[in-house]
Every structure is written in C-alpha cells, then in structure tokens.
Amino acid sequence: MYSKWYKYVLFLVTILSVANTNGSFQNAFAQEVVPSKGTSDSNLEDLKWQLGVMEESAARQQEQIQAIKERLDVVAAEPAQVEKVYNKEELEHAVEDYLSTEEARKKLGLGLPGVTAMYSPDEEKYSIVFRSSDDKYSLGIGGRMQFRYTFKDNDADYGYRDTNNIDVRRARLSLGGNVYGKLLHYYIELDGDSFDVGIRDFYVYWTPLEELNAKMGYFKVPFNQQRMTTSAKLLLQDRAIASEAFDQDRDYGVDIYGKPFDGHLEYHAAVFQGAGEDPAEREDQVKALSKGKADDNLDNELMYVLNLRYNPFGKYDTVDETDVKYSEKFKMSIAGSVVFNAKRKDEKLEDADTIAGVAELSMKYRGFSWHNEYFVMTEDPESDGDSVNSDGFFTQAGYFVIPKKLEIAARYSMLDPDNDVKNDIGKEYTAGVNYYFRPGTHRSKIQADFGHYVTEEGEEQDREENFVRAQYQIIF
C-alpha cells in the first residue's frame, strides 16, 4: 500500500513541476515579447534563439511525461501479490518444524548455553528446559523410543527356527544441563531397553574453548564414528557387523578433545578403564565380586585412545549419519583412530597386548550421504602363543529422493575375525527406506529394511540368514 501511494505522489509532484516550468517560460516569453515590438533584426534573432530553447525544453518534458505514463501502465499490469494461506494443520506443522531447529530453540531460550563440542549431547535430545534467571543452572529433559518388528529367516540347516518379534528396541530418558556457570555441564541417560532399566551414560564436561574441552565419567569411547553417532540418527536401524565387532563402546574415562581451526580439525586424547560396558557379567569379574573387587582393573592396564579428524570444508556433523538437513555445501570428513589395550566386542582381553585402528571417509551433499570405515586389530599374547590379526569394513550410502522426507539406504559389511583362518568371514547386505514425518529432523520417523547375512563355517556349508525389520521412532 505504501508503495502504491508513493508512486502517485511522485507523479503529482512531477506534473506540478512541469506546470510550474511551463508557466515560468510563458512569463519570461511574455516579458520578452512585449518590449520587442519594433525591435531591430538583432533582437529578432535573439527571440528566435529563445524560442528554440523553449521548444527543446518542452520536448524533454514531453518525453518525461510519456515515460511516467509507461511506468504507470506497467505497474497497473503487474499481478497482485497474494500471500499463501495455510490451513490449521499446515500451520501447526510449520511452527513445530521451526521450533525443532537449533536456531529457533536458542532464540527462544530452549537450548543450553555454552555447548561448544559436537561430541557433547546435541540439544535436539531435550524437549523441555528449565533454567535459572542468571543462566548458571539448567535442566533439560527429553525422551526417545524405538518400537520394532523383526522377522528372522534363520538357517534351518543349522537347527535354527524362524522368529517373529515385537519389542521396544530402545527406550531412553535424557537429563542434562549446566551448573555453576555456562561452561560446566552434565549429562545422564537412563536406559529402559527391553525393560532392563539402567544408566547408559553419566558424565560431566567442561567447555572453555572450541579448541580445548574435557569430559569425565562413563561414556562412549571416541574410537569410530558409527559408534559415536547416536542410535537416534543412524542411516539404518542398527550398526554394521564390522562396527559391532571392533567398536569400543562405553567405559569409565577422561577425554580431552577439541575442534581447532574453525572445526577443520578435531581431536581426542583419552584414557579409559578398559574393562568393558558391563564388567560384572564376565566370569572373572563375578569371581572378583565375591571378594569385593568387581571395580578393580584386574590386569592393571588402562586403555588409551588417540583420534584425529580432518574436515576440509569445515565442521562435519558426525552425530548424524544421514543428510536429513540437506547440506547445500559439500561436506567431507577423513579420520583415523588408534586404541592401545583395546577391547573385542566390548570385552577386555587379559594377558594380551591389543592394538586396534580405524580409518574413515565420509561425505554429505544435498541429501546424499556416504560413510566408510575400515578396522584392523592385533592381539599379541603376553605368554607363548601366536598373534591374532583381524580386520573388517563397511560402506554405506543414503539419498533423499524427496528432500528431508523420503530416504533410501544401502550397506555392505565384511568381517574377518582371524586372518590366519580360512572360511570364517562374515558378510552383511542391507537395504532400507526411511520416511521422516517431521521433515529435516529425526523426531518422528519410520524405518524399514531387509538384510542378508552370510557366515562361512569352515569347510561346511555357509550359514545364511535373512531378516525384515520395521521400526518407528519418536523423540519427545
């Protein structure tokens, strides 16, 4: 409306200006003509020159008037701007989608202050946040559930029967916030998977600088990316068989980490107990329990982890395997890790010097994601015995055929538990499709996949298994 009246006012001022100019010229002409009667030839030439100037000025004014008329015609012909009208349901979804973004949550005070590292819990885990007026204390609360149906077509040649299962794959309650200021944080995650309630994570972390942070407590070992990725943001419903075999899972420890050079580099230098996620379940620890030593490190050797990541195009979101946020700029990450006194399948290997390593390559761009990990491990017995070398890898890719909503995914994984033993290799083939009810987030989604496992059994026939899974996840 303002633009419309502005144009008409401008036109009126222009017309008045033209009229005033014409009147000035006419008065000047009249003043010159009256005394010009009976003038000489030289005065006649002056009058002719003045007449020419007036005609030239009038022509320019006529051109300006014509230009203004043409502009008015163009403006009048332009279609009116009609704003899109949303119905109630569309408006509610739009508001919910916006409020789920990190930017909106920070603006509205729903996020936690001072969180500087991706390896700390991401703010999307919290749905409700309470904070003090001075921002020195806060409490975030969030929950997550995954409901899963699984059909397994087991190999009858090995005496296995087919199974149908409906269960709660994961049920988590997350609590976190900051204390004493904006730099000291805490995080606790409760686990109700399969109704076996326990504590999954509990630690505190200090974030004074982007380049230097510290974390201590019980948490994931920063070894490979797929294990560090939250299970809420996996490309497929579970991790690859190679990752499950070599990852170091959770442990008691201290981690010094940071992202210098604007996130182009990331590093972890950590030390852990190395006794596994649930050491009390192992036979040697059960015996130690009767002696009151269940928490002791039986072989007196700690686990050490070094991790280095290079992100050539800036910060890379390693917490999310997908590109659900639809990266407009190409992202890539290259990483390598080494663990001394490593675990195998989350169990401490006693009386052996064990080293494990992993190399990674990942990239994301406009709905496409590709992630690869290659593992190696060497077990060298302290007593007489041969060393055991093993390796494995996986490669997986996903693509959003409908941006932020519909995604297809596929993965291949191989595991060789002993390089010196023939015909013991395991293979995984998995393909799936994911649909996100809240576009751009993992808060409400359904995943379906089909997998085929092949396990070589020495000289005998290979053991083959198939599975079909469907899983719904909700984060609240």
On whether both 16 and 147 belong to a single domain, the answer is: no
- End-to-end CA distance of the chain: give it in Å, rounded: 44
Which structural domain, as residue segments, surrounds residue 255?
143-170+206-475
Q: How many domains does the chain have?
A: 2
With cut-offs at 50, 70 and 90, classify the pLDDT of residue 116.
very low
Q: What pLDDT does residue 341 have?
A: 93
Query: What would the two tokens of residue 297 be?
Result: 């490190």
On whether both 31 and 152 belong to a single domain, the answer is: no
Integer angstrom CA distances of residue 363 from 202, 336, 405, 439 = 31, 15, 19, 21
On whether both 65 and 163 belong to a single domain, the answer is: no
Examine the fold and report which residue of 36, 54, 77 is the final residue of a domain before the chain moves on.
77
Q: What pLDDT does residue 151 have?
A: 95
On whether both 65 and 147 belong to a single domain, the answer is: no
Examine the fold and report which residue of 41, 60, 77 is the final residue of a domain before the chain moves on.
77
Could you tell me which residue, 20 or 247, shows the higher pLDDT? 247
Question: Dmax of the chain from CA atoms?
Answer: 137
On whether both 49 and 152 belong to a single domain, the answer is: no
* Residues in Cβ contact with 198 at an 8 Å cutoff, skipping those fewer than 6 apart: 190, 191
With cut-offs at 50, 70 and 90, classify the pLDDT of residue 53.
confident
On whether both 31 and 147 belong to a single domain, the answer is: no
Q: Give percent of the chain with pLDDT exceeding 70.
A: 75
Could you tell me which residue, 46 or 256, shows the higher pLDDT? 256
Q: What pLDDT does residue 98 have?
A: 62
pLDDT in tens, 129-186: 888 888 899 998 999 999 999 999 987 767 788 899 999 999 999 999 999 998 999 9
Q: What is the C-alpha to C-alpha distance for residues 281 and 319, in angstroms, rounded to an integer?
A: 29
Does the pLDDT at position 110 exceed 70?
no
Mean residue pLDDT of the chain comes to: 82
CATH number for the domain including 314? 2.40.160.10
Would strands 426-436 and 198-206 be described as parallel, antiparallel, or unpaired?
unpaired
304 belongs to a structural domain: yes
Does the pLDDT at position 344 exceed 60?
yes
Could you tell me which residue, 212 or 155, shows the higher pLDDT? 212
- Residue range 413-427: mean pLDDT, rounded: 92
Q: Find the range with the poorest average confidence among 102-106, 165-169, 226-230.
A: 102-106
pLDDT in tens, 267-326: 999 999 988 765 444 445 445 444 444 455 666 789 999 999 999 999 999 999 999 999
Selection from 246, 255, 241 nearest residue 187 by Cα = 255
Q: What pLDDT does residue 118 have?
A: 34
Could you tell me which residue, 371 or 17, shows the higher pLDDT? 371
On whether both 47 and 147 belong to a single domain, the answer is: no
What letter represents residue 30's amino acid? A
On whether both 329 and 427 belong to a single domain, the answer is: yes
83 belongs to a structural domain: no
On whether both 339 and 232 belong to a single domain, the answer is: yes
46 belongs to a structural domain: yes
Neighbours of 413 (CB within 10 A): 23
* Residues in Cβ contact with 456 at an 8 Å cutoff, skipping those fewer than 6 apart: 423, 424, 425, 426, 462
Does the pLDDT at position 430 exceed 70?
yes
Q: What is the C-alpha to C-alpha distance for residues 31 and 45, in angstroms, rounded to an integer?
A: 16
Q: What is the C-alpha to C-alpha distance for residues 155 and 162, in angstroms, rounded to an integer?
A: 8
Q: What pLDDT does residue 192 have?
A: 85
Q: What is the pTM of this model?
A: 0.72
- Residue range 5-20: mean pLDDT, rounded: 51
Show the DSSP H helices in 154-305 as ranges: 225-228, 241-246, 283-289
Provide the 8-state DSSP code for 160.
P
Query: What would the two tokens of residue 160 be?
Result: 């296995």
Does the pLDDT at position 51 exceed 80?
no
Examine the fold and report which residue of 77, 92, 108 is the final residue of a domain before the chain moves on.
77
Q: What pLDDT does residue 62 have?
A: 76
Does the pLDDT at position 206 exceed 70?
yes
On whether both 159 and 28 belong to a single domain, the answer is: no
138 belongs to a structural domain: no
On whether both 69 and 163 belong to a single domain, the answer is: no
On whether both 156 and 246 belong to a single domain, the answer is: yes
Does the pLDDT at position 391 exceed 70?
yes
Which residue in the block uniquely carries the two structure tokens 């169990």?
Answer: 347
Q: What pLDDT does residue 103 have?
A: 59
461 φ, ψ (degrees, to nearest 5): -65, 140
| Residue-wise DSSP of 54-92 | HHHHHHHHHHHHHHHHHHHHHHHHSPP--PPPP-HHHHH
CB 286 within 8 A of CB 87: no
Provide the 8-state DSSP code for 419.
T
Collapsing DSSP to helix, strand or coil, 22 comes out as helix
